[in-house]
Structure 1
Amino acid sequence: MPTQAGPMPTQTALRIPAPQTLARARALAEPALRAAVATLHPLPARMAAFSFGWCEADGTPSPSPGGKGVRQAFALLGAEAVGAPLGTAVQAAVAVELVHTFSLVHDDIMDGDERRRHRPATWKAYGTGPAVLTGDALFALAVRTVAEAGGEHAGRAVAHLADCLGELVRGQADDLLFENRPWTGRGAVGIPEYEAMAARKTGALLGCALSLGPVLAGAAPLQTGALAEAGRRLGTAFQIVDDLLGIWGDPQTTGKPVHGDLLRRKKTLPVLAAVALDDGATARELARLLGPDTPPDAAAADRAAGLVEAAGGREFALEEAHRHAAAAHDCLHGSGLAEGAVGELVALSAHLLQRQL
């Protein structure tokens, strides 16, 4: 039977700071996550531990906590929003974190990114082949985790995870194809096309994070659908924020070089918006600076960043991120979800959207 939670005190939930929410999720999910990774073959298990930030490349324990654990926090809150049992919530968080890390390991290989969270990317530390194997192992482990946790809802939950992964792959494929398309003229990437890609590449997994626990618990389709759409919208907003950080982010915070996305000539929303908002000299110069005939040096990237901001691309991207976040919040209200969990979700998403400030 679908589960349903009674409302929690909204006043208390809204006062919970986002770092506290993330810390609570880590404390609940990480022991189960470590136990799951320990079941892998020793080679991918060690590389997975490195990918999670638990150890250094040589296997010695790491003093840093690793990633923020955003998706596992959303998974726990999504499950709590429908009153799912704690064990179900934790298993959903484990599965989502496994998928997220698998996607990062493979994404760094495809993009050629050598750094992740102020450390070498997994492929850089161990080699491309071993890193691919580690990503595959994490993906298989995520599917097994859902299958074993689902009970009577296992089949539906695995299918739900597969659908989300299929969307993620489609989004990643579009992102790769965008790299070879022009900035202007015939074949240029449009803003709607870009946002559809972001909704798949980043939004699908966050939608899965919010809805997987409810699916495992047999929650009503109205609730799982609302949570999935909210996550999809929030994922799109977070991808746009990542685009902003990829141009203007502080390397000490992002762990990546300044203007990194411009140096890679990556199709991101601020640049696409700048080109669309100014179809004259600015658009032509951006197309030249970020085109294949201009060496990707720091001076060209700095000039491009200034042009994007002057043309309104940065402001447009910020407004779009907040628009998608507001739409996500609308999805969370009116679906019979527990108010306390919704309050924490809104507070956490607002905190994450401020990363670019």
Structure 2
Amino acid sequence: MGDVDRGTALRLLALARELTEPELRKAVDRLPDPVRRLTGYHFGWWDESGARVRANGGKRVRAALALASAQALGARPERAVTVAAAVELVHNFSVVHDDLMDGDATRRGRRTAWTAFGEPLAILGGDALLALAIDVVRPELAGSAGQAIMKELSDALLKLVAGQTADLALEGCSEIGLAECLTMAGDKTASLMAAACALGALSAGADADQVSRMRRLGWHLGLSFQLADDLLGIWGDAQVTGKPVGGDLRRRKKSLPVVAALSSATTAGDQLAEFYHGIGPMPEAEIRQAVSLIEEAGGRRWAEQESIRQRTHAFRELTALSPEPGGARALVALSYLMTHREH
């Protein structure tokens, strides 16, 4: 990715943070303590005691997608601030709960909300973020445009829950197909990115066909992002990602590169399956062997190629929209930044 493109993407993310931060803080400030303190900690605004800090609270990728989608269809990014804040609140609701369900102890280089505040409060905190997302868009809900916004959010939420449910169910399955795993990843991750793009389009006053194309763009981009994320989970650098590398393998979680390797009908894939039939956390020695087997069975290569293929589909949808050049450049730059992530 060139320096110019990276700069465009980083400026978009900075704009997303600048525009949505006041909306997010205003929303969180309505919550009672200690739920307010937990959510502010999760966003990186303060430490566990409530003292102000400047921790990593996430890149605001989904908010940036909403802003750039509106701009690509001829509106100023500011038109999409409300929906951008809403999708960030929904995303962080899912993250707080996902960390708890997966047992992840660290995120963005520090303790996850549930490890810092306990499981019951983390559940309440996630619930509160979802309630705030609906409340944030409440002023936008009058008329047919408002109904479309609410439908977009509710459809994404239902898909997100379906994806998370499938993810939990698939962990206990001995046989998983790639198509099944891609559907799960689409529901769990791509659905909200699809909604972010569609909501940005709705904020720009787009017609039904434009909204549909933006939704498909976000869906393909979300899958590309998830594939890149799964690759980082195996071959990434913990100092860059903020999460322990090998955590998914340690839990014997069947991420997309793993399922591709298990489905490869190769000797390496068969050997990897033996590791995944074990009980309890995978030992460190087996994790190192599993990493080699996934690569040998073609899981890494497939995931890298599929990530590129999904991103290409996203760009085709964008081209078909005949977008405004500035917004299109921002979307393309952000797409590359999301899927060419540092290892």
TM value normalised by structure 2: 0.94
Q: Secondary structure at the match of 1:67?
A: coil
2:71·2:204 contact (CA, 8 Å) conserved in 1? no
1:284 partner amino acid: D
2:31 partner amino acid: L
The residue aligned with 1:194 is 181
Q: Which whole-Å CA distance do the structure 1 matches of 2:157 and 2:151 have between them? A: 10
Residues 214-233 of structure 1 aligned to structure 2 (within 5 Å)? 214-233=201-220
Residue-by-residue CA offset, 1:94-117 (whole Å, 9 max, x unaligned): 101100110000001111111111
Residues 263-282 of structure 1 aligned to structure 2 (within 5 Å)? 263-277=250-264, 279-282=265-268
Q: Which whole-Å CA distance do the structure 1 matches of 2:124 and 2:57 have between them? A: 21
Q: Which whole-Å CA distance do the structure 2 matches of 1:68 and 1:15 have between them? A: 14
1:116·1:255 contact (CA, 8 Å) conserved in 2? yes
**Alignment pair present for 1:180 and 2:166:** no
Residues 18-167 of structure 1 aligned to structure 2 (within 5 Å)? 18-84=9-75, 86-152=77-143, 153-167=145-159
Residue-by-residue CA offset, 1:31-87 (whole Å, 9 max, x unaligned): 122112212223322211111111111111112242111111111111222234555
1:223·1:337 contact (CA, 8 Å) conserved in 2? no
Deviates more, 1:56-65 or 1:126-135: 56-65
2:83 partner amino acid: A
The residue aligned with 1:344 is 330
Q: Structure 1 unaligned segments of length 5 or more: list them.
A: 1-12, 183-187
Deviates more, 1:300-309 or 1:146-155: 146-155
1:164 partner amino acid: A
Q: Which whole-Å CA distance do the structure 2 matches of 1:137 and 1:48 have between them? A: 9
1:72·1:96 contact (CA, 8 Å) conserved in 2? yes
Residue-by-residue CA offset, 1:184-214 (whole Å, 9 max, x unaligned): xxxx111111111111110000011111132
Q: Which whole-Å CA distance do the structure 2 matches of 1:293 and 1:114 have between them? A: 20
1:268 partner amino acid: S
Amino-acid identity (%): 43
1:288·1:294 contact (CA, 8 Å) conserved in 2? no
2:113·2:122 contact (CA, 8 Å) conserved in 1? yes
Q: Secondary structure at the match of 2:183?
A: helix
1:329 partner amino acid: F
Residue-by-residue CA offset, 1:148-195 (whole Å, 9 max, x unaligned): 22443222211110001101111111111110001xxxxx11111111
2:156 partner amino acid: C
2:251·2:281 contact (CA, 8 Å) conserved in 1? no
Residue-by-residue CA offset, 1:214-249 (whole Å, 9 max, x unaligned): 224542011111111111111111111111111111
Q: Which whole-Å CA distance do the structure 2 matches of 1:346 and 1:300 have between them? A: 39
1:56 partner amino acid: D
1:157 partner amino acid: I
Q: Which whole-Å CA distance do the structure 2 matches of 1:15 and 1:167 have between them? A: 31
Q: Which whole-Å CA distance do the structure 1 matches of 2:55 and 2:197 have between them? A: 27
2:6·2:337 contact (CA, 8 Å) conserved in 1? no
The residue aligned with 1:241 is 228
Q: Structure 2 unaligned segments of length 5 or more: list them.
A: none
The residue aligned with 1:8 is none
Q: Secondary structure at the match of 1:42?
A: coil
Structure 1 residues 293 and 284, CA gap change in structure 2 (3 angstroms): farther
TM value normalised by structure 1: 0.90
